[in-house]
Structure 1
Amino acid sequence: MSARAASREASRTLLHVAASSRGGASHSRAAGHHVLARLQQALGPLRVLDCDLGAMPPPHPDARMVEASLTPAQARSPAAEAALAASEQWIGQLEAADLVLLSTPVHNFTVPSALKAWIDHVVRPGRTFLSTPAGKVGLLADRPVLVVAAAGGAFEAGPGSQVDFLSPYLRAVFGCMGLTQVEVLRLENLRREPAAIEAARARLDDWSAAVAARLAAGAAGRD
């Protein structure tokens, strides 16, 4: 690898958004760290931005924030700018990232409330998307988004299976902002017998290895 290519590799930034509130007991956090380690092995040094929604849950948007988000930038008061400060911070992290990793549990068929609040802060009209007669148009540059979702139950067909609302929702949300390269790994049956947990871990290892190898090959092709 040339010195120029090595410098570019070292400057690659990954944003890790972790949504679980269960700390070290979280399956999704452990899975996220596993994927991150695989990516670091394949891509070399990464600058990692940690956005821990479980440890520091975002506030749900209030009337001030919503009103400020609907006000054109040139017409905002200092108070309106202050109401958008947290939103700007999270959007800035997205803009700085070459790669996004989201690790999340599945709560009641979809995303946990902390992740939904974060989404409501970063999906903003005039900032991360435009509303047009043809629909929403994303304003962020496209980049890969890797999602690891952990569920205690099953998604596949059969007794006790559940509908997966999380995957299509996240693809729509990120796509709305212009991020269309969304890949989702669903880890299921994590509150069942040890064999099911081991099967989920094997799927995680295979998936993370394949994704890391593909991203590394793509990066090498651009050098």
Structure 2
Amino acid sequence: MASILLITASPYGSSSRGAQLAMQAVTNLQAQNPRLTLIERDLSALADATIHSGYSDALIGGHSHDAEVFALSEHLIRELEDAAYLIVATPMHNYTVPATLKMWIDFVLRYGRSFAPVDGIKTGLLKDRPTLVVVTAGGIVSGAGRLQPDHLTGYLADVLATVGVRDLKFVYLDGLVNPARAEQVAADGAQSIAMDPVFGAKVMA
């Protein structure tokens, strides 16, 4: 059955502003297709995960995909592989993705499984799918008034493209450290999603 994969990378989990906005998109998708199931991946569960020497040795040694050392990686890849839609709700930590999202990336980008070199270029082995990324940040990281570097957007676009996911929409909830700005930014983000042709609410004639 087709699914929506919702990844949350905030330490506040489902209570974060980004996750709440992401759930708006989930609700819209399921209203359009009630048969879509929701798979929730809270990345706080990866806080203690690591890429150890045995994992690296198995990669280099060309071990089969069902090797025990790849169990977590394989599970995460299959969640993504099976998803008709991908939604990521992530904060920006120190200009880039948080550590738990980086760990998910390191497990999902696996040579010979989710990507392979073609003419020396890492090329995705997974199908593209509509993807929404909701980024939250205390500072202003988007638009003409950007006050700090953004190493998240380009990086995340690059790593998702590496496995074959290129159909991306980014929504930014930034400047949240300012309570007066936060409510307006959240409203603008909700409006952006509501108007989106894929993740938005469909108005019945």
Pair in the same fold by TM > 0.5: yes
Aligned equivalent of 1:93, options 61, 71, 79: 79
Match runs of 1:176-187 below 5 Å? 176-187=162-173
- Aligned letter for 2:59? S
For normalisation by structure 2, the TM-score amounts to 0.88
Asked if 1:19 is matched to 2:9, the reply is yes
RMSD: 2.2
Cα 1:58/1:209, change in 2 over 3 Å: farther
* 1:128 and 2:128 aligned: no
Between 65-74 and 12-21, the greater mean CA deviation after superposition: 65-74
Deviation, structure 1 residue 215: 5.7
More helix by share: 1
Q: How does 1:126-165 map to 2 (within 5 A)?
A: 126-155=112-141, 156-158=143-145, 161-165=147-151
Whether the aligned pair in 2 keeps the contact of 1:101 and 1:147 (CA below 8 Å) is yes
Corresponding residue pairs, total: 200
Match of 1:203 among 177, 188, 197: 188
Q: Is the 8 A contact 2:194 2:200 kept in 1?
A: no
Runs of 4 or more consecutive aligned structure 1 residues displaced over 6 Å after TM superposition: none
**What pairs up with 1:21-170 in 2 under 5 angstroms?**
21-23=11-13, 25-57=15-47, 59-74=49-64, 81-155=67-141, 156-158=143-145, 161-170=147-156
**Retained in 1: the 8 A contact 2:25–2:199?**
no
Q: Which residue matches 1:3?
A: none
Cα distance in 2 between the residues matched to 1:84 and 1:110: 26
Moved more, 108-117 or 49-58: 49-58
Q: Which residue of 2 aligns with 1:214?
A: 198
| 1:69 Cα deviation after fit | 2.4
Structure index of larger Rg: 1
**What is the aligned-residue identity percentage?**
32
| Structure 1 residues 30-59: Cα deviation after superposition (integer angstroms, max 9, x where no partner) | 222222223223443420111110255361
Q: Distance in 2 between matches of 1:65 and 1:150?
A: 32
How far does residue 24 in structure 1 lie from its aligned partner after superposition?
5.4
- 1:7 equivalent in structure 2: none
Listed as ranges, the gaps of 5+ residues in structure 1 are 1-10, 218-223
